[in-house]
Structure 1
Amino acid sequence: MSSSEQPITINDQFKKTVRSIELLTLSGKRQDSKEYQHELVQLLNKLLKIKNQVYQLGIFSDNETVEDINTKDIKFLAVEYYLGELVSKKLDYVGDEESQNRRINYDFKIRNLKKSVQFLIDFLAHLQNYNILNEFQSKKLGHFQDHYQPKLSELRPNDPALRREEKIQNFKLEKLINEQLKTFEQRYPKFVNGEEEDENAIDEDTLRELYLNKLRLFSLKSFSHLEMLNMELEVLANRPPERIQEIPLPPPSSSAAAPNGSSADKKLLSQENDYGYTERVEFRKPSELISPEGKVLQPFTFVSSKDQIKKKVFGYGQVMPTMSVEEYIEEEIKRGGIKTETITGEQNSESEDSDEDDSDEKLYKAREWDEFKDAHHRGEGNMKNKG
């Protein structure tokens, strides 16, 4: 370093690192890509270096309050938050990059998730020490039986109604903080975009409130992230054992069919790996099939499994029905899912006879009533109260 170059202060290092984290988050790169992981490791190393410098400089003390902290130093309380967010995204793989058996190293993933939990809890503990957390968050943090291994029941209430109410309150608080941060961005766009890095150009009270609001926002995100980390760790802990099946290559042979394997090997692979799809047919140039003299270099062989391969190609997919409605009803009847009532021929005849008898009886009654009305006129027999 030349005498004219000024050393980069810890303040500038932290600002540039945070800006790089924001750009990486907004880049849209895949987290499992080599480029993303490379930048992630660089940012983690920078944050760890800043964390060590903060400790060596003795910027924070357990005996002071948040009012005693210098305004420009408040932002360094977020170092553990950024570390917790980035460590959870670090990935590692087992196997060569070009190998088909390459997979995520889940043991490495679990260690990183646990380390992320530790960073986030350290961040929340520092905020609690300076009374930056609200009363509800402080109580939740104090109820952890194991400080660095909180349970899911300790992170959120078991009652769905209370859980819903907590989410609503956190949403309102997060919305309020974001509105205040947006107001600051509109007043000082250059400072937010990193174009103007002089903190002295901003009122100290305004700058102090900005840093405290960011810490409050990070505290809400930390509790939410701890819930997700806890659930992910539980899923990884209960995952089934990994099974890696390697298909051995056929032994070298002098025959022309050796590179493609023997017919017995093909039959075995076809039976064991019948997953409903066909193997890829390699592209062949015309010169590889027929010589310029017209000689067939690769004969076309029609195998007996042609119909079976055809069924795989034109068979039912994962969203197509595999049986008709009638077949489904018959299957349900066999399993007892649908009850049926059998009616014998005698019962049918009896019901038909009873229906005929009822209709004949009604017809006779109607005829008798008509004959009665014809024989007796209306009002006949009425003595008009003469006794």
Structure 2
Amino acid sequence: MAQAEPGQAERLPDLFENVWKAWEFLESTQEDTNSYSVQKEAIKGLTDGEKAIKMVNDLALFSSNESIEEVTTNELRYMLLPAFMGYFIQKRVTKDRLQLVRTGKAYFEDFLRQCKTYRVVKVNAHLDDDEKEEVSENGVVPVARGPPGMMKMISDRESKIKAFKEQKELEVRLAELKQYVDKEHVDDEVKRDYYTTLLKKWVNIASEDLSGINFEIQMLELREDTQSDAEARKEDYKKKKLPPMRPFIITKDMIQKQVFGLGYPSIPTLTIEEFYEQKLKDGTFQPPMAGHSMQDWAENPELDKEDREREDEEKEKKIEADDPEDLQKARNWDEWKDEHRRGWGNRKNMG
């Protein structure tokens, strides 16, 4: 590859030659896209391509007021630079794939727009709707716009078949011209024909690649939106989660609370009543439906004691009144104890 000497300014022809060599290598290599050599050549092609495009813009080599006939043969090849940049970007492997394909799309669209301005080809496609137009023999005819239908599907299919046949013809033509272009002395018309044919070939390549790029952008944007929604839901879940439980001391009454609070100032101290109310508030404890419970005792210890004494009195009255149900339970219990010696259920006491 042509390289500038240290301290010597880079020349546009040398930069273009570097870009061309990088493209030739990537076209002919059999290595994987993510291999070191492929990524290295793609980066070098992008670096030299950016420098070359900046130099072309600084020199104002192309103008929207010119036609293809007004561009010199040596400058004609520089119109390929945006197409090469789109090609190199597609070879790059990075984490931010969405930004990558968007940049490649911008380069391909810029290339097609420039070819449209200079009337390189008859039909230009894959530009924005307000830029699409079809060139006929009598001039420019706007492309019919409307909802997709059967006629449009047939037209698209025929266009693809036509583009495929043209691409094969262009490749054959390029192979023939390449034999003459590689010679030391070549006629200017041959070189011009070669670069013009090459531009037409890249118009087909860029148009085809843009179809895939637009589809990939839609998929990547959809995936990005889905990931954003999932992360947002995750953040909402974290915010709604209950705070971690801090250690605390449960005391029987307020007096014990004061005593333990003095001994352990860094640990919260709760009475049984306060602890129970806190558990009911955060929903981690369900009150029992009936019977004596911690809640009954915490709310009114004296009343709970009276209830238990009342139940004991009722049991004694049933015994004194020879309640049939209680008598039967007592007999069953005595018979069971007579038939089952103490310790029989304990395997360790078996002799």
Question: TM tier, shorter chain?
Answer: 0.5 to 0.7
Cα separation, 2, equivalents of 1:38 and 1:211: 27
**Residue 218 of structure 2: aligned partner:** 234
Partner SS state of residue 131, structure 1: coil
**Residue 89 of structure 2: aligned partner:** 87
1:205 aligns with 2:192: no
Which of 154, 170, 174 is equivalent to 1:177? 170
Deviation at 1:228, TM superposition (A): 0.5
Cα separation, 1, equivalents of 2:193 and 2:16: 19
Task: Indicate conservation of the 8 Å contact 2:180/2:186, yes or no.
Answer: no
Please give the per-residue CA displacement for 1:246-284, whole angstroms capped at 9, x wherever unaligned: xxxxxxxxxxxxxxxxxxxxxxxxxxxxxxxxxxxxxxx
Which of 28, 49, 61 is equivalent to 2:63? 61
Which of 217, 222, 229 is equivalent to 2:201? 217
Deviation at 1:169, TM superposition (A): 0.8
1:130 aligns with 2:118: yes
Cα separation, 1, equivalents of 2:214 and 2:111: 17
Q: 1:174 to 1:83 in 2, by over 3 A?
A: same
Task: Indicate conservation of the 8 Å contact 2:89/2:104, yes or no.
Answer: yes
Cα separation, 2, equivalents of 1:86 and 1:176: 25
Q: Aligned AA for 2:31?
A: K
Cα separation, 1, equivalents of 2:130 and 2:104: 17
Cα separation, 2, equivalents of 1:48 and 1:109: 20
What is the TM-score with the length of structure 2 in the denominator?
A: 0.54
**Residue 331 of structure 1: aligned partner:** none
**Residue 161 of structure 1: aligned partner:** 154
Q: 1:234 to 1:157 in 2, by over 3 A?
A: farther
Deviation at 1:137, TM superposition (A): 1.8
Task: Indicate conservation of the 8 Å contact 1:157/1:163, yes or no.
Answer: no
Task: Indicate conservation of the 8 Å contact 2:178/2:194, yes or no.
Answer: no
Deviation at 1:23, TM superposition (A): 0.9
**Residue 101 of structure 2: aligned partner:** 113
**Residue 25 of structure 1: aligned partner:** 27
Unaligned runs of 5+ in 2: 133-144, 232-351
Cα separation, 2, equivalents of 1:145 and 1:157: 21
Q: 1:46 to 1:2 in 2, by over 3 A?
A: closer
Deviation at 1:50, TM superposition (A): 0.6
Please give the per-residue CA displacement for 1:133-167, whole angstroms capped at 9, x wherever unaligned: 21x326x6463579xxxxxx99x987432222111
Q: Percent of pairs identical after alignment?
A: 20
Which has a greater percent of helix? 2
Cα separation, 2, equivalents of 1:221 and 1:178: 12
Cα separation, 2, equivalents of 1:62 and 1:2: 32
Cα separation, 2, equivalents of 1:11 and 1:185: 19
What is the number of equivalent residue pairs in this alignment?
212
Please give the per-residue CA displacement for 1:38-69, whole angstroms capped at 9, x wherever unaligned: 33212211100011111112211222211111
Partner SS state of residue 124, structure 2: helix
Cα separation, 1, equivalents of 2:30 and 2:63: 39
Q: 1:164 to 1:2 in 2, by over 3 A?
A: closer
Q: 1:117 to 1:160 in 2, by over 3 A?
A: same
Q: 1:204 to 1:187 in 2, by over 3 A?
A: closer
Which of 117, 133, 143 is equivalent to 2:129? 143
**Residue 50 of structure 1: aligned partner:** 52
Partner SS state of residue 189, structure 2: helix
Please give the per-residue CA displacement for 1:320-378, whole angstroms capped at 9, x wherever unaligned: xxxxxxxxxxxxxxxxxxxxxxxxxxxxxxxxxxxxxxxxxxxxxxxxxxxxxxxxxxx
Q: Aligned AA for 2:168?
A: K
Q: Aligned AA for 1:133?
A: V
Cα separation, 2, equivalents of 1:82 and 1:12: 15
**Residue 378 of structure 1: aligned partner:** none
Cα separation, 1, equivalents of 2:174 and 2:10: 27
Please give the per-residue CA displacement for 1:267-315, whole angstroms capped at 9, x wherever unaligned: xxxxxxxxxxxxxxxxxxxxxxxxxxxxxxxxxxxxxxxxxxxxxxxxx
Cα separation, 2, equivalents of 1:145 and 1:176: 27
Please give the per-residue CA displacement for 1:173-223, whole angstroms capped at 9, x wherever unaligned: 1122112112113444xx1xxxx5x5xx21111111111110011001111
Cα separation, 1, equivalents of 2:128 and 2:4: 51
Task: Indicate conservation of the 8 Å contact 1:113/1:229, yes or no.
Answer: yes
Deviation at 1:237, TM superposition (A): 2.1
Q: 1:6 to 1:90 in 2, by over 3 A?
A: closer
Cα separation, 2, equivalents of 1:43 and 1:220: 21
In terms of Rg, which structure is larger? 2
Task: Indicate conservation of the 8 Å contact 2:98/2:217, yes or no.
Answer: yes
Q: 1:36 to 1:241 in 2, by over 3 A?
A: same
Cα separation, 1, equivalents of 2:81 and 2:36: 25
Deviation at 1:28, TM superposition (A): 1.6
Alignment of 1:358-369 (within 5 A): none
Q: 1:176 to 1:52 in 2, by over 3 A?
A: same
Q: Aligned AA for 1:52?
A: K
Partner SS state of residue 238, structure 1: helix
Deviation at 1:117, TM superposition (A): 0.7
